Structure 1
Amino acid sequence: MRRADDAQTNSLKAKLTQSGIVLNASTLPATLETPWFVRVLQAFSGWLAAFFLLGFIAIGGVFVVESAAASLGLGLVLIGAAFALLRAAHSDVLEHLALAISLAGQLLVGWAAIEHWNNAAYVWWSMLGLQSALALVMPSVTHRGFSAFAASVALYLAWVTAATGMAASGIVLCALTALWLNEFRWPRRIKEMQAWGYGLALGLLVTQGLAHAGHPLPFLYEALDSNLVRLGVWMSVGLVALAQLILFQALFNKQPLASVRWVTYAAGAVLLGVTFYVPSVGQGVVVMLLGFAIGNRVLTGLGMLSLMLAIGSYYYWLDATLLTKSIALLVMGTLLLGLRFGLHRRWEARIAHSSDGSVDNDA
């Protein structure tokens, strides 16, 4: 019997080791981490060195920007050099130096795309492809996060040219939700998954700010009289609903109560109705709930910031007097506090009832 237990334990250890999970970590020598202020100074040194280096290159190669082919070639060379430097980098100085060189190469590639195509949509789609590839292949967590952020912004700007920018935010929201819910599915890729997740979250927040700067309210859509814009609104609401469904299904695997499911689906339907008239509220709530579900405080904070930005934008652009706005805020705040109080009391009563039932069954 003991031999069987030892064999099973060894098999489990082998599987954990193959997945990249180190056992008996306490017996390994502790590594000293560099203080944050030293890392900031090293990052600043790397960017400063990169600016001097790129300045010398720019002085000797001004003619490059006059040719799309030369800009593309030099940009790809700089990106390749950054890739090689990142593979050999073992310090923050070299990593940030490589990141700055890569950024310069991306700008040259973008300039070549602008010179080649007169259509802004083609430029942004090409940048989306470039950033997506860099997010997958670059051997740096910082670079992967930055590329994921840039890819989400490029996707939004590409869809804006077709007057359906809000739908792009919905696509990023669905990708963000699915990514964070599968954070630990591949143990060897946890850092990369987190980098992509944070990059998409920041990109979603930035695109939300860009959308609000463009007056993304339904009553302003009516003034534009554009069917494509209305289609973008409907697509955005549908994608928010899909992200909700993905999140709810993951949560319901841990919550078998049918009554809780129906209440959750009803609340989700109400949220979708609000999202149609107050854009970005749905995505803010989904990101906040996602942060609560996986225990990520940073993601929860980003969701709360997104929600406040959506409500603040709606309050600012709403065509009503300050008295009407104040009364509306007072009523909504009172209703939300009452809803929170009622749900909290009901949840406590249900937990007490379940515990009493378990005690009776044990008796």
Structure 2
Amino acid sequence: MTNNVNDLSVRLSQAGIPLNEPTSPAQLQTPWFVRALQAFSGWLAALFLLGFIAMGVVFVVESPAASMGLGLAMISAAYGLFRRARSDVLEHLALAISLAGQLLVAWALVEWWEASPDSLWALLGWSLFGLQCVLALIMPSQVHRGFSAFAASLALYMALATSAMAAVASGLVLLAITLLWLNEFRWPGRFKDVQAWGYGLLLGLLVIQWLAHSGQALPLLNDMTDSAWAGLTPWLSVALLALALLLVFLSVFQRFSSSRGRWAAYPCAAALLIVSLYVPSVGQGVVVMSLGFAIGHRVLVGAGVLSLLLGIGSYYYWLESTLLLKSLTLLVIGGLLLLLRWALRQWLSTPVATSDDGSLDHDA
């Protein structure tokens, strides 16, 4: 066994693959409850510090320029603290300072654009979206990157909701999630950054779906607004969903080149897109769940299942019919899906025959 290991090491070295033998034992990771206590200590220290600062600069909130200047200064201070942070206490202290600075920036923007209330939310949404995108790229903290990605998705939803294009925001976030997780290992140096962005956008997608289901009607069953883009919103959302689903298919087909699988996938995708015209969350949940299966990511699979259940549950309560008809509708849809699954498994399974010499003959 030792000789085989040595031979493998020699062959890897000859191939130009360096082997780094550990010279010291691996360091033990800090337990999660200790890190949670350190995070709590950081937030507690940040609250006392911000409270002390607020007592002396109450006049800042009365001046948009002062609020903007102090907010940018606090974000810069948080950036410098992140660069030097070596513990969870300092990291969460910097995060709290950065959030306070972002609130001051948002307050300054609201005060500046208060004179034009019609476009206030759109301008505020686009401004915060740009700010969060910049912070997600430059902040040297995985926690802050994830939070900024989450806040950017909500700001995008707020900006597009003013023009009746809220469904497009979820489609754009879904496409960004698909691109990030499919290219998770493409940039080894930014591996943790990509994960932070992916988790933040995933949480943002779930929150956007919850906001869409909290009281609004289905896109094709109500008069949304008089916006010129209102009629195109469902189609744009389905187009983004189709693009994300196509990227997942291409990633899977590169590893499993089965002609039967391709012929089965595209009709199922077409049926899913038709359903997504009426219930967008169903298609988004299926895409996230398929993406999780494609890359072997359990968190994505769980988030896709949660999104799918949220979409189906909302659709159940949105149907303007009796409870009996709703139950029968879901029963028929579930039966058809189970029948489709059984038919696909029967069609995609490769028959195995035995030849005359007793060996197995696989029929391609």
Q: String of CA shifts for 1:164-203, please: whole Å, max 9, x gaps.
A: 1111111111111011000001111111110000011000
Amino acid aligned to 1:90? R
For the structure 1 residues 290 and 360, does the alpha-carbon distance in structure 2 shift closer, same or farther, using more than 3 Å as the test?
Answer: same
Amino acid aligned to 1:196? W
Deviates further, 114-123 or 338-347: 338-347
TM-score by length of 2: 0.90
Q: String of CA shifts for 1:250-301, please: whole Å, max 9, x gaps.
A: 1110121222112101100000000001121111100010011111111111
Partner of 2:16: 12
Matched, 1:78 2:74: yes
SS at match of 1:230: coil
Deviates further, 335-344 or 275-284: 335-344
Partner of 1:317: 318
Q: What is the aligned length? A: 349
C-alpha distance in structure 1 between counterparts of 2:317 and 2:260, whole Å: 38
Q: 1:232 Cα deviation (Å)?
A: 1.2
SS at match of 1:319: coil
C-alpha distance in structure 2 between counterparts of 1:270 and 1:102, whole Å: 45
C-alpha distance in structure 2 between counterparts of 1:218 and 1:124, whole Å: 22
Amino acid aligned to 2:327? S
Aligned counterpart for 1:102 among listed residues 89, 98, 103: 98
For the structure 1 residues 286 and 23, does the alpha-carbon distance in structure 2 shift closer, same or farther, using more than 3 Å as the test?
Answer: farther
Matched, 1:34 2:38: no
Partner of 2:56: 60
After superposition, residues 1-363 of structure 1 pair within 5 angstroms as 9=13, 12-13=16-17, 23-25=20-22, 27-118=23-114, 119-222=120-223, 227-347=228-348, 349-350=349-350, 352-353=351-352, 359-360=360-361
For the structure 1 residues 285 and 186, does the alpha-carbon distance in structure 2 shift closer, same or farther, using more than 3 Å as the test?
Answer: same
Judge conservation of contact 1:172–1:204 (CA < 8 Å) in 2: yes
Judge conservation of contact 1:127–1:154 (CA < 8 Å) in 2: yes
For the structure 1 residues 149 and 355, does the alpha-carbon distance in structure 2 shift closer, same or farther, using more than 3 Å as the test?
Answer: farther
C-alpha distance in structure 1 between counterparts of 2:149 and 2:20, whole Å: 32
SS at match of 1:320: coil
Judge conservation of contact 1:76–1:109 (CA < 8 Å) in 2: yes
Report the structure, 1 or 2, having the larger helix content: 1
For the structure 1 residues 314 and 65, does the alpha-carbon distance in structure 2 shift closer, same or farther, using more than 3 Å as the test?
Answer: same
C-alpha distance in structure 1 between counterparts of 2:88 and 2:239, whole Å: 42
Q: String of CA shifts for 1:65-87, please: whole Å, max 9, x gaps.
A: 11111001100111111111111
The RMSD of aligned alpha carbons is 2.4
Judge conservation of contact 2:171–2:240 (CA < 8 Å) in 1: yes
C-alpha distance in structure 2 between counterparts of 1:360 and 1:220, whole Å: 54
Partner of 1:18: none
Judge conservation of contact 2:220–2:277 (CA < 8 Å) in 1: no
C-alpha distance in structure 2 between counterparts of 1:29 and 1:8, whole Å: 24
TM-score by length of 1: 0.90
C-alpha distance in structure 2 between counterparts of 1:158 and 1:354, whole Å: 60
Q: 1:222 Cα deviation (Å)?
A: 3.6
C-alpha distance in structure 1 between counterparts of 2:305 and 2:185, whole Å: 24
Amino acid aligned to 2:128? M
Q: 1:11 Cα deviation (Å)?
A: 5.6
Judge conservation of contact 1:75–1:106 (CA < 8 Å) in 2: yes
C-alpha distance in structure 1 between counterparts of 2:235 and 2:320, whole Å: 23
C-alpha distance in structure 2 between counterparts of 1:120 and 1:75, whole Å: 20
C-alpha distance in structure 1 between counterparts of 2:59 and 2:329, whole Å: 59
Judge conservation of contact 2:276–2:283 (CA < 8 Å) in 1: yes
Q: String of CA shifts for 1:12-52, please: whole Å, max 9, x gaps.
A: 325xxxxxxx8445x54211111111111111111111111
Amino acid aligned to 1:30? A
Amino acid aligned to 2:101? G
SS at match of 2:229: helix
Judge conservation of contact 2:287–2:304 (CA < 8 Å) in 1: yes
Judge conservation of contact 1:221–1:229 (CA < 8 Å) in 2: no
Q: Structure 2: any 5+ residue segments left out of the alignment? A: 1-8, 115-119
Judge conservation of contact 2:217–2:318 (CA < 8 Å) in 1: no
For the structure 1 residues 36 and 8, does the alpha-carbon distance in structure 2 shift closer, same or farther, using more than 3 Å as the test?
Answer: closer
Q: Structure 1: any 5+ residue segments left out of the alignment? A: 15-21
Q: 1:346 Cα deviation (Å)?
A: 3.6
Amino acid aligned to 1:192? D
SS at match of 2:232: helix
For the structure 1 residues 225 and 67, does the alpha-carbon distance in structure 2 shift closer, same or farther, using more than 3 Å as the test?
Answer: closer
